[in-house]
Structures are given as structure tokens and as C-alpha cells.
Amino acid sequence: MVCGEVRLISKDGDFLGLDISRPWYVVPVSQASMQLRVAFQGEPGAYSQQALSSLFTHASPVPLPSIHKVFEMVEIGSVDYGVVPLENSQAGSINETYDLLVRHGVRIVAEKIVRISHCLLGLPGASVRAVKVVFSHPQALAQCEEFLDSMQAERVAVHDTAGAARIVSEEQKGGSAAIASEEAAALYGLDVLARAIEDRPDNSTKFVVIGREETEIFGEPTKTSIVLSTANVPGALFSCLKEFADRGMNLTKLESRPSREKAWQSHFYLDFEAPASDPAAVAALEALSTSTSFLRVLGSYPST
């Protein structure tokens, strides 16, 4: 399959994205034809591993201690893909993931929205009333704020929900509990003291698969994510957004994050409903490349 790409350059000529000067080839590869190594942040039983299992039918999961390490291992080729959280329906964007997408030479190749139902886990025989300390990832603690307020227990943030379950299991302290999945309870020998403790019944997290190259093993791309920076002048962002509006393209996300390169400068993250190879998208991106100080395609992939 031969596809056109878009050359995206900065004002100083740095290569920032896809290149239309040469054709590129996508070679579909069946997941079943090879044993992929796929990294995720957390310990066995983490929600990221659940997302990984739903995305890959044949893969060897590789647990890693941080999201940054997942990006690093994918970029250097130690693993084939990585699965990282991008956004929660309640707590919002995972800022670290967005920052790392700019800093590393990887692409988003797929996304998966996973329903997140949190449980309060304790040692066998424990009760909710006896819990004095609750361990979990900061996002999980934020997603269960109302339940935790009713308990009046101390909250301790740790690196991972499954890691919190392991800590409670290993320390064997009667007043300790963890917020994690029911799968983590079974894995670490804990009791489920309470189920569905998240504040919103539709609580869900969007995970993305990152890889080094474009791929179609997840299907044809229907969505594209980009990041850009503009000059600090009136109407600069409006002019960028107008390129999409003029072509009838729907934006599904617009969010700003501080740039790590320069103080008080922002990156704008945008998602639009079209593959990067769509003629309207090609035209919009080419127009943006002349009106932005920084522009990069983060990935073009199937939308869930």
C-alpha cells in the first residue's frame, strides 16, 4: 500500500513530521504471526495491562516502572509497542503522556477506551470501617474522591494501582487498603471490601498504543493527533483553527500545555476526524506548516 505523507518543518527548517516527498509503505502484519513485546506502565494487574490485553491478541506484556520508561523502551526498539494512558473521562488528561509524545520519536498507532471500575482492596477479613490508610495512583485517588471523603482515611499516592495492591499484600497491616482492580485483588490475595467506588459510573480511561512506525495492524486510520505552537500575536491560534473549519474538518480535542523548551510558551494539542493522508488534512497541515513555529503529527490511527 502506497500513501502520501506531509512534510512538516519549523521556521528554521527542522524536520518535524511526515514527508510527502517520498512515498511510504504500510505493510499489514497479523498480530498472530509474531509474538510482540508490548510494554505498559505499572505492575501485573494494572489497568494498563487490561488495555494491553484488549488491544493485542498475542503479546508478551512487559511491565515497566514509569510512563517515561515505556516511551524510552519503544523508541530504542527494546519492545515493539507500548500502551500508555492518555486521558480520563473524569480527571482529564495525563499530562506526562502528552509531554512525552513531544519529546520522543514515537507515534500513536491505536487507541482504546477502557471502562475503569475501582475497588477498595484489603487483607482477608478486613472491613471498610477499619481502613485508616488508602494507597493508590493519584488518578485513582482523584476518581474516588467522594468515597474516600466518606471514609476519612489518609490517602497515600503511589506509582500504580496494582503496585498499591502489592504494597498492602506485602506489608500485612490491618488498617491499610488499596484502590485497584478486582483482577489485582485476585493476583495479590486481597479481599474486595467495596466495588464500583469511583465518583462517576461512566468513569473510563483512553489508552493509546505507541510505536516507532506507522502500522495498519489495528485498522485503517480515521483520526489524527497533532501538536503545534504559534507566535504570541493576536489571532494566531484562530488562524490555525480556521484552516480546519474552512475545510469542514471536525476537531475533537483542543488543549494547551506549557512548552518545556521556553518559559511561558504553550503547545496546543489537537485531534481531528480524518487520516493524515486525507486531501483536506494534507492541505490543512501544509498551510499550518507555514504559520506555526512548531508542528508535528503525533499519529494517525483508528478512532474508537
Residue 34 confidence (pLDDT): 63
The whole-angstrom separation of Cα 262 and Cα 90 is 30
Q: What pLDDT, on a 0 to 100 scale, did the predictor assign at position 304?
A: 85
Report, as an integer, the average pLDDT of 277-300. Answer: 96
Tell me the Ramachandran region of residue 152: left when phi exceeds 0, alpha when psi lies from -120 to 50, beta otherwise: left
Amino acid sitting at position 151 = M
The pLDDT of residue 250 is above 90: yes
Q: Quick check: 264 pLDDT over 90?
A: no
Determine contact, residues 64/44, Cβ cutoff 8 Å. no
Q: Do the beta carbons of residue 83 and residue 76 sit within 8 Å?
A: no
- Band of pLDDT at residue 303, cut at 50, 70 and 90: very high
Q: For domain 119-194, give its CATH number from 3.40.190.10, 3.40.50.2300, 3.40.50.150, 3.30.310.50.
A: 3.40.190.10
Cell of 283: 492541505
Q: What is the pLDDT averaged over residues 158-184?
A: 96
Q: Is 222 a catalytic residue?
A: no
Give the pLDDT score at 4. Answer: 37
Query: Average model confidence (pLDDT) for the chain?
Result: 89
Q: What is the pLDDT of residue 132?
A: 97
According to CATH, the superfamily of the domain at 34-115+198-215 is Periplasmic binding protein-like II (3.40.190.10)
Q: Of 17, 31, 22, give the one whose Cα is nearest residue 226.
A: 17
Please give the average per-residue pLDDT across 219-233, as a whole number: 94
pLDDT over threshold 60, residue 3: no
> Tens digits of per-residue pLDDT, 198-217?
999 999 999 999 999 989 89
Distance in angstroms (rounded) separating the CA atoms of residues 15 and 9:
5
Enumerate the β-bridge partners of residue 63. Answer: 40
Locate CATH 3.30.70.260 in the chain: 1-28+218-304
Cα–Cα distance for residue pair 212/106, rounded to 1 Å: 5
Please give the average per-residue pLDDT across 86-109, as a whole number.
Answer: 95
205 is an active site residue: yes
Helix (H, G, I), strand (E, B) or coil at 62: strand
Q: Is the pLDDT of residue 156 over 80?
A: yes
- Nearest partner of 226 among 265, 272, 188, judged by Cα: 272
How much is the pTM? 0.85
The cell numbers describing 189, all together, are 490475595
Say how far apart CA 91 and CA 204 lie, in whole Å. 10
Identify the active-site residue in 71, 135, 207, 268.
207
Domain 1-28+218-304 has CATH 3.30.470.10: no
| Residues 13-31, mean pLDDT to the nearest whole number | 40
Q: What is the DSSP string of 231-297?
A: -SSTTHHHHHHHHHHTTTPPEEEEEEEE-SSSTT-EEEEEEESS-TTSHHHHHHHHHHHHH-SEEEE
Residue 170 CB partners (closer than 8 Å, separation 6+)? none
Strands, E assignment, the chain:
2-3, 24-25, 36-41, 59-64, 81-88, 92-93, 107-115, 119-122, 133-136, 154-157, 176-180, 191-194, 204-211, 223-229, 251-258, 266-272, 294-301
Which one of the listed residues 161, 205, 215, 230 is annotated catalytic?
Answer: 205
